């Protein structure tokens, strides 16, 4: 059966933490260009705390329990805009996945709930040069390819997120700190879009590693 189970979702979150650690300097560099240079360290601090929190979560009852704990930890540990935004997204995904497994359609619905939470909190529209500009195309790609299997859907979502990051380059930021720069925010990728790409890539990596594709 092509499902996301509790070990898989734990592997996903650990993979995100590893990617954030590995890419911390790059995320900080992106945020130095159009923000305050703390996006990498914000997420590093958050996901380090998430790893510790997951170690104390013995026998999670559902896929969602792992994601809810992840989200609550991000909200409490990350001071920047990205903490509450990603924290709310993970909590919303957690609430959407009350079972011990999630099939591709259920997981797509959870990713949609995550995006809805980000948009509710941050009020960003597509094109505002934020996380939304990577998560929106990634979700659309996941939904479009969900019936080809989880690993393939996650792979196409990661590719779509990467394109979403590139597409933020010519945009002028209309939300968050980068918006203070006005037209000077043009010509750089959005750091939050870049970290969203990491989140979707980590999903593809976790699925590729733990489940044979197809
Ligand atoms: P801060 O801006 O408080 O320093 P971070 O540097 O951790 O926080 O995160 C910056 C990223 O947060 C931005 O690159 C952008 O993608 C995202 N972001 C900021 N405000 C919003 C918003 N209102 N909606 C969606 N994403 C946002
Ligand atoms: Mg910042």
Phi/psi class of residue 190: alpha, beta or left (left: φ > 0; alpha: ψ in -120 to 50)?
Answer: beta
Whether 45 is in the pocket of ligand 1, judged by its Cβ within 6 Å, is no
- Is 22's pLDDT higher than 60? yes
pLDDT of 61-89, one tens digit each? 999 999 999 999 999 999 899 999 999 99
**Terminal Cα distance for the chain, rounded:** 10
Gap between the Cα atoms of 38 and 11, Å rounded = 26
Q: Categorize the per-residue pLDDT at 214 as very low, low, confident or very high, splitting at 50, 70 and 90.
A: very low
Whether 36 is in the pocket of ligand 1, judged by its Cβ within 6 Å, is yes
Q: Is the CB of residue 138 less than 8 Å from the CB of residue 200?
A: yes
Question: What pTM value is reported for the model?
Answer: 0.97
Ligand 2 ion: residues within 5 Å (CB): 31, 35-36, 38-39, 80
Nearest ligand to the CA atom of 78: 1
Q: Categorize the per-residue pLDDT at 213 as very low, low, confident or very high, splitting at 50, 70 and 90.
A: very low
The predicted pLDDT at position 211 comes to 54
DSSP letter (8 states) at residue 185: G
pLDDT of 129-167, one tens digit each? 999 999 999 999 999 999 999 999 999 999 999 999 999
The predicted pLDDT at position 158 comes to 98
């Amino acid at each position: 059966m092509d499902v996301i189970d509790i070990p898989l979702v734990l592997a996903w979150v650990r993979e995100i933490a590893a990617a954030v650690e590995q890419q911390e300097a790059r995320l900080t560099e992106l945020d130095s260009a159009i923000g305050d240079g703390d996006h990498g360290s914000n997420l590093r601090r958050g996901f380090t705390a998430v790893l510790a929190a997951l170690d104390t979560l013995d026998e999670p009852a559902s896929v969602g329990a792992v994601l809810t704990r992840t989200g609550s930890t991000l909200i409490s540990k990350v001071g920047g805009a990205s903490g509450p935004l990603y924290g709310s997204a993970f909590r919303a995904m957690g609430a959407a996945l009350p079972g011990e497994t999630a099939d591709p359609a259920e997981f797509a619905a959870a990713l949609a709930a995550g995006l809805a939470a980000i948009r509710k909190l941050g009020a960003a529209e597509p094109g505002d040069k934020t996380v939304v500009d990577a998560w929106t195309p990634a979700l659309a790609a996941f939904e479009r390819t969900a019936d080809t299997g989880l690993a393939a859907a996650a792979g196409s979502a990661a590719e779509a997120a990467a394109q979403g990051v590139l597409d933020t380059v010519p945009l002028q930021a209309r939300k968050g700190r980068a918006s203070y720069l006005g037209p000077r925010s043009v010509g750089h990728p959005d750091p939050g879009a870049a970290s969203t790409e990491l989140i979707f890539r980590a999903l593809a990596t976790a699925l590729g590693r733990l489940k044979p594709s197809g």
